Structures are given as C-alpha cells and as structure tokens.
Structure 1
Amino acid sequence: MAEDLPISLPFPVRGLPTRKPLRFDLKTTAQDRALLAALLGISAVHTLRFKGEIRPLGRNDFELEADLDAQIEQPCIVSLQPVLTDIRETVVRRYLSDLPEPDADEMEVPEDDTTEPLPEVIDAGAVAAEALALALPAYPRAPGQELGTAIFGPEGQAPLTDEAIRPFAGLAGLAAKLGKPTDSES
C-alpha cells in the first residue's frame, strides 16, 4: 500500500544510525495533499507536516516519534457545509525485530497498538498518512448544526419518541405523584 500513497519518506533500516536519532521533516506539496485528500475521501488537506525522529531501541529495534500537524476540510454531516479541522498529535511507532508472530488459530488484539514488526524500510510518509486517516473526525459538524429528531409512526396514531419507549421513563412522574423525592431532588 505504501507504493500507492502520494506521500513517501522512506528510510531503509540497514542505513539507520544505531547510536543516535535520525531527524526528519516531511513537508508536502499542494499536489501531494490533493492526492491524499482524494485517497482519504475528504474535501481537502490544506496543510500537512510530519516532523520527528527515528531512534534506536537497543541493538536491532527502532522507534519513530513525530508530531503530526494538519488542517483538513470535510463536509458537515448535517448541512454539507465545509468544516475545517486542525489535527495535532504525537505519533509513536515501535519497530521490533523479534516481534513474535501471532498464531493463525488464535489472535488477540494487543493493548499496545504502537508496536509493529521491523520492516526493511520505515516510510515516514506512510506513517503520516495512516495517522492522519485515524485522526479524521468520523462525523464532522459545522458550528451550530444539530441533528434533528426523527419521529415516525403510522398514520392516525401518536408516534413513539425515545422518551416514550424507555422502560423507566415514567418513574419520575410516578414518584412526583406519590410525593417521594427523586435522586435529583435529594
């Protein structure tokens, strides 16, 4: 998949320094960002910068830590107006040379989702694209936009609302009739 990405900053593992960090600063062109926006299915990636370092962890392992700084545009899920979102987060990936292979029969999702097997090439561009995809708001909303309440029902009958179908919704009213205080009153 890394070959299909519009941004790439590859670092062959064999060439990485084993005693000191290797610093990088991925800056993108307007064309790179337009292709990335199309790949992610969003309106635009206005800015994208991925700056950090790859440092050795022991003899054969490496850690990538970088700051992702981006501004993206997506349509509002309510009104389809453009919504600008600033994304700023620190991304960490640990590449381990002797990461145990999971059994094919049983596989647990590890708690540490930053650990990966050591590849031949660490592509900072691919890591940036993945981190951006994971950071995108799933349901962007323009300021002041609210989802309305949809109420459906057969003709001639009162439609059911969320409040009416809650099994304990009427208990507060019943407690008030009986003169007993509710949790909110005590």
Structure 2
Amino acid sequence: MPEFTTQDAIIRRSDLNGQKPQPFDLRPNETDCALMAAALSVNGLRKLRLTGTLSATGALEWVLQGALGATVQQDCVVTLAPVVTRIDTKILRRFVPQDQLIPWEDSEEAELISNPDDSLEPLPESFELMEILQEALALEIPEYPRAAGAELGSVKSSPAGTTAFPEDPPKPFAGLAGLRAKMAKEQ
C-alpha cells in the first residue's frame, strides 16, 4: 500500500462518538491520485472522492456507508487508445470484532454457501479511508476497457503449408438429408 499524504484520511475509533454518525468527505490530492493510479495500474485518476458516514450499530460494530466517485483513464485492450470511465457507486462496509468473522476458507459450509457477506471487515483501531477508497475503486475499475468502436475481429490461423479454415465451414451432415431423400424415392 503506498504512503498517502492526504490529511484527515485516518479516523481513530477512540475519537468517534458512538451516539451520532461521523461524516467524512475525502478528496485525495494530485500526489495521492498519482500514487493510487500507479498502485491500480491505470494511467490516471481524476475527481476522486469518497463521502459518507461512519456510525456505530452496536457496542463493537461500526458501519461505513458512502459514495465513491472517480474518473479513470486506462488503455483500450484492443487498440491501446485512452479510455476514460466514470465510476459512481455506493459502498458499504461493516466492521465487526475478529471473533465474529467466519474464517471462510476453513468453514465446512464453504461449499454450501455461494455468497458470503463480503461487506464484513475486521474491526480496526483506526479506519483508513484511503485504503477503503483504493479497495472499493479496485473492485469497480473495468478489467478490459474498450474504446468506442474497438472490435477484436477474427483471427485465421492454420498450420504452415495449409489453407485457413473457411469462414463458412462445410457441414458434413448436410449431405445426409439429401441422401435420405434419395433413398426414400428408391424404395
């Protein structure tokens, strides 16, 4: 994880009031946007913002509800032209004590349950908003961005010395229908 410089990106749990929600509005500076872009292997990040609230829902349970906004620049996987994607999404993280988390990999129910609650996180001493922002953004960035009109096309390959397979391949069983009709006439 890169060393971010944005101030007020860490909220200590001991500083929070369990009676009322703690609002936050995180807008990383250009340096942090560049660090995060490099960490996420994208060409650039602009208008990066995480807003929301952190509130207690029990004695040792906290919920982060927020909105993530970012403009991401990546290379098209087909043409390598720059592709700009706008991301606006809601995020939800529930922080609970470690002993309330099911060790998913070791669980006997792992094969029976196909969708564990992926909003659960271990309760930290401090909430690092830049890490939460980076994780949420990594999940939303398109894996295979394409520029408008970019198509893969088709590849025709064949062993050396042979011709490529035709686009409209022969249908070996198509002749059987004609043979069946011919045999029916003969009987």
Shorter-chain-normalised TM-score: which range? 0.7 to 0.9
One-letter code of the match for 1:4? E
CA distance in 2, matches of 1:110, 1:7: 35
One-letter code of the match for 2:134? A
| TM value normalised by structure 2 | 0.79
> Unpaired runs of 5+ in structure 2?
180-187
Residue 72 of structure 2 aligns to a residue whose secondary structure is: strand
Aligned to 1:102: 103
Aligned to 2:44: 44
One-letter code of the match for 1:102? P
| TM value normalised by structure 1 | 0.80
Are the counterparts in 1 of residues 4 and 32 from structure 2 also a CA contact under 8 Å?
Answer: no
Q: Of the two, which has the highest radius of gyration?
A: 2
More helix per residue: 1 or 2? Answer: 2
Aligned to 1:141: 146
1:119 equivalenced with 2:124 (yes/no): yes
1:17 equivalenced with 2:22 (yes/no): no
One-letter code of the match for 2:3? D
Residue 129 of structure 1 aligns to a residue whose secondary structure is: helix
Q: Structure 1 96/175 Cα, relative in aligned 2: closer, same or farther at 3 Å?
A: farther
The worse-fitting range, judged by mean Cα deviation, of 44-53 and 94-103 is 94-103
Number of equivalent positions: 173
Q: How does 1:53-64 map to 2 (within 5 A)?
A: 53-64=53-64
Aligned to 1:83: 83
Are the counterparts in 2 of residues 26 and 51 from structure 1 also a CA contact under 8 Å?
Answer: yes
Are the counterparts in 2 of residues 5 and 126 from structure 1 also a CA contact under 8 Å?
Answer: no
Q: How does 1:61-80 map to 2 (within 5 A)?
A: 61-80=61-80
> Unpaired runs of 5+ in structure 1?
179-186
Residue 4 of structure 1 aligns to a residue whose secondary structure is: coil
CA distance in 2, matches of 1:172, 1:5: 65
1:32 equivalenced with 2:40 (yes/no): no
